[in-house]
Amino acid sequence: MFHPMRDVSHLMKRFFQCSVFAACLGAAPLFAQDDPVVLLQPNGLEQSFRGYLTGYSFQDIDVLEIVENSHPHGHEIAGGVGTFSDPITLAVGQTAQGVEFTLDFPAGTRFYLPKLRKYAMVETICRDRIISQTGGCNIGKQGLPWLVIYVDGIGMAENATACASKISGIQTFVMDPGPNRSVVVGELTQSGCFTYPDL
């Protein structure tokens, strides 16, 4: 049975939570964007492109919905230490086609992030399903793809927030990278959240 007050209250709560998530990570307001986003797709060859990166942590929104991966490839919950064999969880946008959703990049797509010296892999969708088509990573940033990396931060809420802010910005993504890139091993927040010169 439909309960107007209960159901509307639930939707408003989810909208507020997602809006707070966006604000904490420096996201744009939830409105349509003029610049179309061009998405390269993996073809088995190394490809580099510029994109926008933000971070999310264990503390953000509803932990069970955010930390549990929707498309796991090695991690049932968000994680990873940034090596080729244990890449960090990446969240990406999705496009609705009727009742089907298509990820911006296929689940399991591996990336190398030179600015972080970490490998990362697509394992989940970003933001909340209710408003997933209206803002943030689902519409990109300044015509660029928007990806969101897990910064972990269990028990380190203040450091995780600072880490997410520090790494946010336009930078280089290397899709389908080889296994021999330079890596600083460790969860982002716990290993100091260092950044390095971009390509």
SS3 annotation, 31-99: CCCCCCCCCCCCCCCCEEEEEEEEEEECCCCCHHHHHECCCCCCCCECCCCCCCCCCEEEEECEEEECC
Nearest Cα residue to 168 out of 26, 23, 24, 20: 26
pLDDT reading at 174 higher than 90 = yes
pLDDT confidence bin for 136, thresholds 50/70/90: confident
- Rounded CA gap, 188 and 167, in Å? 10
Angle among Cα 188, 15, 148 to the nearest 5 degrees reads: 25
Quick one: average pLDDT of 97-105? 81
Would you state the pLDDT for residue 19?
35
Quick one: average pLDDT of 49-76? 72
Average pLDDT for the chain = 77
Would you state the pLDDT for residue 98?
74
Helix (H) or strand (E) holding 159: helix 157-167
pLDDT reading at 60 higher than 80 = no
pLDDT confidence bin for 94, thresholds 50/70/90: confident
- Rounded CA gap, 16 and 39, in Å? 29
pLDDT reading at 66 higher than 80 = no
Quick one: average pLDDT of 111-129? 87
- Rounded CA gap, 183 and 199, in Å? 15
Quick one: average pLDDT of 162-168? 94
How many C-beta neighbours within 10 Å does residue 106 have? 13
Would you state the pLDDT for residue 167?
96
Least confident of 14-23, 100-109, 116-125, 181-190: 14-23
Nearest Cα residue to 129 out of 73, 70, 177: 70
Would you state the pLDDT for residue 137?
82
**Highest-scoring range by mean pLDDT, 41-50, 74-83, 152-161, 169-178:** 169-178
